[in-house]
Amino acid sequence: MSADFSGDLLRIARQAREWSQTGLARHSGVSQANLSKLENGLISPTENVLNRVGAALNFPVDFFFQNDRVTGLPMSVQYRKRASVGKKAKERLEAELNVRIMHIRRLLRAVELEPELRLPQLDVEENGNPERIANLIRRTWLVPSGPIRDLVGWVERAGCIVVHCDFAALKVDGFTVTIPDMPRCIFLNRSMPADRQRFTLAHELGHVVMHQVPAPEMEAEANTFASALLMPAQDIRRYFSGRLTIQRLATLKPIWRVSMAALLYRAKRIGAITDNQSRYLWQQMGAQGYRRTEPPELDLKVEMPTVLAEILRLHFEDLGYSISDLARALCSSEDDLRTLHPLPGGAHRLRVVK
Ligand SMILES: [Zn+2]
């Protein structure tokens, strides 16, 4: 153990379990006064206290002696859903985010990730508008015209790590974390339908490309970018020719792999339908209940991220790690490892690429 005891990581472990200091005091038999001082770095733990706290939290004590700096939630999560997400749930999300980043950082030590595609930074003011920037990205990557089939694949080839997480209770679609010396990590809520995951991923890619610093218009710009990346005006216009109906939107959904709602927005945005047509179609969408849930028979297949799965596979197959070896290397319990990652025999399917 090279680093000192980290009060911040004690807090992260406690928040990962959605416990207050009082809750942890009850479960560990360590007084809340001591826990508070430990988290604030005012005292160092005795071995007895460490063991009690580690056991109560189901974190190996090594976890508290890592020198990782704790990361806060990105701005977009901070205020986007402020009203609907409680403090405890937000703290748990922050804890999960930090634990995941620590895992990814350690897993990356064994591999060299070399992006195949360039991921340029394009300022909105200098490059016109998000629509044009989406076009530039497609051209930079040489994406064939028409629908993008495997968006996760493109984004991962550009050097980002896409991570599926369970944010169901949190009403968070996704967010991006940028940390020096690490690839961009884009976290997606895996409980969303596939079309919404794709749109969210395109939206996050928009932030990565356009927003080095938060800007007032960033959410609208990222949505426009996502819409233009997935449905370029020049490619999709002819699909909207003739009379656009709900049935037509349903037919287009599996082709373009975006929601009927996203298609309808796009049709309006590129001027393929009038205000009146748009209003009428939205009414129809509402009447059918499609504004809440689109027809389940049109659900798309989820695109699975492969980079993290491949790095885990490499640890197990090429480097000969067992699950308990990996838990030790990541300073994690095996339970957390299974919850957080696609492990062989775990809850997730490990997909081997190549
Ligand atoms: Zn956003």
Ligand 1 midpoint to CA 304 (Å): 21
Ligand 1 midpoint to CA 197 (Å): 13
CA distance 207 to 301: 25
What's residue 57's pLDDT? 98
What is the average per-residue pLDDT within 66-85? 72
Ligand 1 midpoint to CA 218 (Å): 7
- 3-state secondary structure (DSSP) of residue 201: helix
What's residue 172's pLDDT? 83
Ligand 1 midpoint to CA 189 (Å): 14
Tens digits of residue pLDDT in 227-255: 999 999 999 999 999 899 999 999 999 99
Ligand 1 midpoint to CA 293 (Å): 22
Ligand 1 midpoint to CA 117 (Å): 23
Ligand 1 midpoint to CA 183 (Å): 19
79: pLDDT confidence band, cut at 50, 70 and 90? low
Ligand 1 midpoint to CA 111 (Å): 30
Ligand 1 midpoint to CA 252 (Å): 25
Q: Are 76 and 208 in contact (CB under 8 A)?
A: no
Q: Per-residue pLDDT for 41 more than 80?
A: yes
354: pLDDT confidence band, cut at 50, 70 and 90? very low
Task: Kindly list the domain boundaries of the chain, sorted by start residue.
Answer: 1-70, 233-298, 306-354
Ligand 1 midpoint to CA 176 (Å): 9
Tens digits of residue pLDDT in 200-216: 999 999 999 999 888 88
Ligand 1 midpoint to CA 69 (Å): 24
Reported pTM: 0.91
What's residue 73's pLDDT? 83
Q: What is the 3-state secondary structure (H, E, C) of 218-271?
A: HHHHHHHHHHHHHCCHHHHHHHHCCCCCHHHHHHHHHHHCCCHHHHHHHHHHCC
CA distance 353 to 309: 9
User: Average per-residue pLDDT in the chain?
Assistant: 91
What's residue 74's pLDDT? 78
∠ Cα 316 318 323 (to 5°): 15
3: pLDDT confidence band, cut at 50, 70 and 90? confident
What is the average per-residue pLDDT within 166-188? 86
Q: What is the CATH number of domain 1-70?
A: 1.10.260.40
In percent, how much of the chain has pLDDT > 70? 93
Q: Per-residue pLDDT for 353 more than 60?
A: no
Ligand 1 midpoint to CA 340 (Å): 23
What's residue 338's pLDDT? 92
Ligand 1 midpoint to CA 162 (Å): 15
What is the average per-residue pLDDT within 184-199? 94
Ligand 1 midpoint to CA 307 (Å): 23
What's residue 80's pLDDT? 53
Q: Are 101 and 108 in contact (CB under 8 A)?
A: no
Q: Per-residue pLDDT for 61 more than 60?
A: yes
Q: Per-residue pLDDT for 66 more than 70?
A: yes
What's residue 51's pLDDT? 97
Ligand 1 midpoint to CA 172 (Å): 10
Ligand 1 midpoint to CA 248 (Å): 29
